[in-house]
Amino acid sequence: MVIRIREWAAGALILAALPAADAFAQPAGGISREDVQRGVTVESRLRRDYEPLGVRLGGFRLNGQLDLGGGYDDNIRANNRRRTSDGFTDQAGTVSLTSDWTTHAVGITGNFDARQYFGNSDFNWADWDIGAFGRYDLSTTTNVEGRYRHYRDHLDVYSFDVQTAGVFQPVPFSSDEFQFNANTTLNRIGLLGTALYRTYRFEDVNIGGVQNRVSLNDFDTVIGAIGTSYAFAQGRYANLIFRVQDIAYTQQESRGRDSFTWEVLGGFTYDFDGVWQARIAFGWRERNYKDPNLKNLQGPAVEGQLTWAPTLLTTLRLDVSRTIEESIRRDTVSFNRTQGGLSVDHEFLRNVILSADARADYREYQNPNESAFDALFTLSTRYLINRNLSLVGSYTHSRRLEATRNLPEYDRNLIQLRLRIAL
């Protein structure tokens, strides 16, 4: 759902482990050293004939893109017993203004993504966020950074957590996030410290004239982490991170759900031969609740990703994670979530990128003892027309394979087509 331990733990691990990138000359056209250097994937490879140039404004660069399109959803309720299909229009965009300085950095960014159904406006949603950041470089290996972002987001109607909470339409919420990072490198040792404060404010949802008080789940969270890495060689690191999280609910009747979480993760980031790369971390996580009647959560913490590039034109990626996330249900607080997936990206032509992604999502609740197992499969194509125009098409099939509480299983097919316009 909302708080993803995986995101912050993994982020700290990655930031602590990543070395400074080597600088290479950029020959005009053809294959460059960046195209074939270790770690470059189909998605991360620059395509100089098709990359948007942006707009230079003195020492800053303005980048932006706008997506316009639509599609068809054959099960907008994620419920086979009340199956409803509908078409929709989509709009999405992003804009950023960032400095292009040799040292230090500042910038502002904004994003939005919205959908409107033709005949079922209750399922419409509009997400957006805007933020700013600043980085001060104390040296080539040491810097501090501050970030702020305001979000307007929603919980999806297809979520098992949303459905079992008795909410059968998107749940909007707003959030403010403040983050501070500091990292340095001492010879072979990398050090990272991060602190984050974030608020979550949910909107009550009216269903059939009855108000569902989702706002009872409003909470604030504080996250802190310290991490270290040791470099055996270029692209080969051992990582260790310790992380804590405090969650405090704002409504008095929900204060018993307050919790404190700690976790320790150790692992490695390893480039084996330029073809295989892996980032794996194992550890232990424990969450304790203020209300003694609530059962504490504890168990293994896992974060991993394996990347295989059999050719320069194909990249396969396998990833897995296990997290604790907050629930909006009144009869439970948190749940363990295990996610995994396999994705394939293939450069069919220099300007035609084909992708396939298969994912699994397993949620476990302790009190009451419930679970849900969902699967998702996506095929997509990206056609780069020129620097400023591209077409993105996708087909997604999702299916609930198993669920307790007599919640009906469902399958859903989603087709989308977007025209992307970039600066």
Write the secondary structure of 337-353 as one string of H (helix), E (strand) and C (coil).
Answer: EEEEEEEEEEEEECCEE
DSSP-based three-state secondary structure for 366? coil
DSSP-based three-state secondary structure for 250? coil
CA–centroid distance for 172 within its chain: 18
Distances (CA, A) of 76 to 68, 73, 103, 401: 20, 6, 48, 18
Q: Where are the domains of the chain?
A: 5-422
Structure tokens at 206: 């009216």
Identify the CA nearest to 149 among candidates 94, 182, 108, 91. 108
CA–centroid distance for 372 within its chain: 21
Measured between its terminal Cα atoms, the distance across the chain in Å is 34
Matching CATH number, 5-422, of 1.10.287, 3.30.300, 2.40.160, 1.10.3470: 2.40.160
Structure tokens at 132: 């700013």
Site of tokens 């607080």: 333
Q: DSSP for 113-166?
A: EEEEESS-GGG-EEEEEEEEEEEEESSSSEEEEEEEEEEEEEE-TT-HHHHHTT
How far apart CA 151 and CA 89 sit, in angstroms, is 22
How far apart CA 49 and CA 386 sit, in angstroms, is 7
CA–centroid distance for 339 within its chain: 12
Spatial CB neighbours of 81, under 8 Å, sequence gap ≥ 6? 408
pLDDT, tens digit only, all 423 positions of the chain: 444 433 443 444 333 334 333 333 333 345 555 566 677 888 888 888 899 999 999 999 999 999 999 999 999 988 888 889 999 999 999 999 999 999 999 999 999 999 999 999 989 999 999 999 999 999 999 999 999 999 999 999 888 888 888 788 899 999 999 999 999 999 999 999 999 999 999 998 877 667 778 888 999 999 999 999 999 988 899 999 999 999 999 988 888 899 999 999 999 999 998 899 999 999 999 999 998 888 888 889 999 999 999 998 999 999 999 998 998 888 888 889 999 999 999 999 999 999 999 999 999 988 778 889 999 999 999 999 999 999 999 999 999 998 887 677 889 999 999 999 999
